[in-house]
Amino acid sequence: MPFESLKPQVVALLSKQEHTLTEKLTAICELLRQSIDYYNWVGFYFKNGDKEELKLRAFSGEPTEHTIIPFGKGICGQVAVSNENFVVPDVKAQDNYIACSIDVKAEIVIPLFVAGENIGQIDIDSHSVDPFCQEDEHFLTFVNQSVAQIINKNDF
């Protein structure tokens, strides 16, 4: 797994002072999608102001019509409520799944916390069944912790 070699690249992308937060997040999405063969779509959703919904901020992969996701709906919406990692080995087995593409077979969503508050998440879709393991969870938690260090509440 390339996770250890990707960590310094994630940190480097986040340290680029000349880029906006959205540009940094998009660069991370692109890095992860291009570096890990079963990461077919990578995106960051964040709480949309005071609304009980998530808004897509940055992504890499096929465009999605799901740019706004109500809390509780789909895997992302469930993570917004549960504050816990959610690994779905086979999306067909999920009743509360929002299909972004017929090609998606599995999904992993990791919440992003700033000062103890779940403000967003990283969402990965895969075209393979059951590709995610504990190393994915640990790595994506690292990515979110790194992102959290540069987030300012004024960014939202």
**Residue 16 CB neighbours (<10 A):** 11
| 114 belongs to a structural domain | yes
In a domain, 133, yes or no: yes
What pLDDT was estimated at residue 2? 87
> What total of structural domains would you count in the chain?
1
- Residues, the chain: 156
pTM given for the model: 0.94
Looking up residue 138, the CATH number of its domain turns out to be 3.30.450.40
Cα–Cα distance for residue pair 76/6, rounded to 1 Å: 24
Residue 156 covered by a domain: no
Q: Determine the structural domain holding residue 124 and report its residue range.
A: 3-151
108 within some domain? yes
pLDDT in tens, 92-145: 887 766 666 778 899 999 999 999 999 999 999 999 999 999 999 999 999 999
